[in-house]
Structure 1
Amino acid sequence: MGDIEIDLYGDWVKYLRNELSGFGYSDIPSNNEAVVHTYLNLVRRLIQPIPRKVLKSSEFACPPQYQQGLADVERQISQGRDLKPYLSKKLANSRYNDHFLNDWGIHHLHLGRTLEPDGRFMVRSGPVLCCRFEKAVAYFIQVISHGEWAKQELVAILHRNWPESIKQFRLKNVTGMAVKLTDQDIRCLRRKNVNTVVDIGNGVMYGQIGGGFTASGISVDVVMKADYYKMKFQQMQTDVIDNIADIARAGKAKGVFLPNTPQFRLAMKGNQVFVVEVNCRLEAFLESL
């Protein structure tokens, strides 16, 4: 058998380009790594529409005029509906880095009740709901004024109400800081892409609940996932090349014969990864992402 034409990572990047285009974005980077970062960053900023149990902190309070909007959001979350209309309009910028989310893992949702004229987002509210999402739970932390993204009390509320949910981010063998950072300090340091810690008091300190950000401002979690997926696709490609004889035999048993110079392309079905030979259409399952 001759050379094998295959580039699974490159095919995956093309798939992500199409996904971004399908989402309505036109400012798609030309660099492959930047495409992956952009896509993963966007997915991180969205909230997976699955039913979740809503838990409210003991300190939780919402202004009376936004109670109905809050009830709408709570119902949407409980029913697993799409929350995109309640999120920041900065979703329109696919490359925006949300430091509030990347630092503390907290989303903010607006509490408007009607869609704006373009039908994309709910009418913006002054106060916003701060919420942390896990697979089965939505933690309603507090309603704050829009822009209070460095309010350390939010982390303190998480600690007081659901310490088990963030215990992996609590710093060990650290009892305090020589100089405790103010909210304004954190706000200023974030602008320079500097990660900070939150000193709750009584020897309790937390690192980056949201994973933190790199010197360029992008989420550390995004960079790590991008590297992981690149490695996975490269390994899958190696597996195809190393096992080409077995793939050929499996095809032959079905009456499908690989050409002398196979041309494989990536095929995605949900989170399942396949390769398809473009000439004979032989398909082989690789693994699930």
Structure 2
Amino acid sequence: MPKMDFKRDLGCEIVRYFDERSISFEREQSSDTPWLLERYFRLRLKEIAPRPRRVHHSTELRAKLGAVEERYRLPFTEIEQRFEIGSDVSEFQSRLASNVSVPDAMLNDLGLHHLHLGAKRSPDAKRVERSDMLLLVMVCPDDAYFVDIRPHPQSSDPDDYGWSQQEYLRLIDRNWSHLLDPYELRGVTGSSIPDSGRRALQQKNANVATQIGDRAIAPPGGGMTSSGANLTHVWMAMKVLWQLEQLEGAIHADWEGQHQTFQRAGLDAGLDTELHLVPIKGATLPEILVGPFTGGLLLSGWTIQIADTGTRLEWGLQWA
């Protein structure tokens, strides 16, 4: 039977992806593919991919823009223009946005990115300096919904619930109720706990359905596991790993017939051949592992490679 460990091969590709982008992560986890997958999906959620998007302002945000200080309005306008033309907005994100070791509780829970309304660039010129005011945005593939401008929460202040204010969900519901439709839970009543209670639950990595009007809304960001990982990302990682197990099983089941076909074609693929999962030339990891907000999960763009010869066997690796 052929030797293969496609989970290990995928893990190596993720490590390579992190290293090429100078993404720091716990090196002792380099051989833990489930862990690497969850961290990869975490990074993709925290990043805002540059692409043209329609920008929408909430009614509440439009009402307060005239009173916003000019030092915040200038970066606000720049962020808006960048979203519209599809330019990179990462320099307005927190430095932790590229740190896969730190989960974003607000993003995992409420589904909101926070952008710093700073004008000064940091010494490394990669990020603007941390600002006192934040722009809260729900980012979708073709649209960016500017929810509100709020003061930067102070995590050290036990009475500051800025990262867990349920008013943000009510703002979304009042302005774009359709955005919450996918997260509506039917037949249940959501919680009406105060923001202090929600913050306590966030700190314990606990999920809560929020009562918004007459609807119970699950966490739009995907929710959290007890470890702090995004619940949706854990499910996605499990699905990918299951797909790889199925692929290995299918190759084992039909290998005797397949290797005869390869030999007739002049390929050195014996019964004990070592196989590796590799990306098709030109395919990038984000294209191969399609994450949230892109219409589901797709594992494609791979081929099988014979270890000794480097010959690539074009398998039909397409899953919806």
Instruction: Give the alignment's TM-score, normalised by structure 1.
Output: 0.90
Letter aligned with residue 26 of structure 2? D
Q: 2:123 aligns with which of 117, 123, 135?
A: 117
Please say if 1:153 is aligned against 2:167.
Answer: yes
Q: 1:279 aligns with which of 284, 308, 317?
A: 308
- Does structure 2 conserve the Cα–Cα contact (< 8 Å) formed by 1:251 and 1:282? no
Q: What is the aligned-residue RMSD (CA, Å)?
A: 2.1
Is the partner of 1:285 in helix, strand or coil? coil
Displacement of 1:39:
1.9
Q: Distance in 2 between matches of 1:288 and 1:42?
A: 24
After superposition, the Cα gap between the structure-2 partners of 1:144 and 1:247, relative to the gap in structure 1 and judged at 3 Å, is: farther
Equivalences for residues 111-260 of structure 1 within 5 A: 111-147=117-153, 148-175=162-189, 177=191, 180-201=192-213, 203-245=214-256, 247-248=258-259, 251-252=262-263, 254-260=265-271
Displacement of 1:119:
2.2
Is the partner of 1:16 in helix, strand or coil? helix
Q: Distance in 2 between matches of 1:98 and 1:214?
A: 13
Ranges in structure 1 where 5+ consecutive residues have no aligned partner: none
Displacement of 1:113:
3.0
**Alignment correspondent of 2:296:** none
Give the number of equivalent residue pairs: 284
After superposition, the Cα gap between the structure-2 partners of 1:143 and 1:257, relative to the gap in structure 1 and judged at 3 Å, is: same
Letter aligned with residue 285 of structure 1? W
Q: Distance in 2 between matches of 1:250 and 1:57?
A: 61
Q: Distance in 1 between matches of 2:190 and 2:248?
A: 48
Percent sequence identity is: 23
**Alignment correspondent of 1:23:** 21
Q: Distance in 2 between matches of 1:207 and 1:35?
A: 26
Letter aligned with residue 188 of structure 1? A
Letter aligned with residue 312 of structure 2? L
Q: 1:267 aligns with which of 252, 264, 278?
A: 278
**Alignment correspondent of 1:46:** 47
Letter aligned with residue 28 of structure 1? R
Letter aligned with residue 128 of structure 2? M
Q: Distance in 2 between matches of 1:174 and 1:239?
A: 42
Is the partner of 2:130 in helix, strand or coil? coil
Ranges in structure 2 where 5+ consecutive residues have no aligned partner: 154-161, 289-300
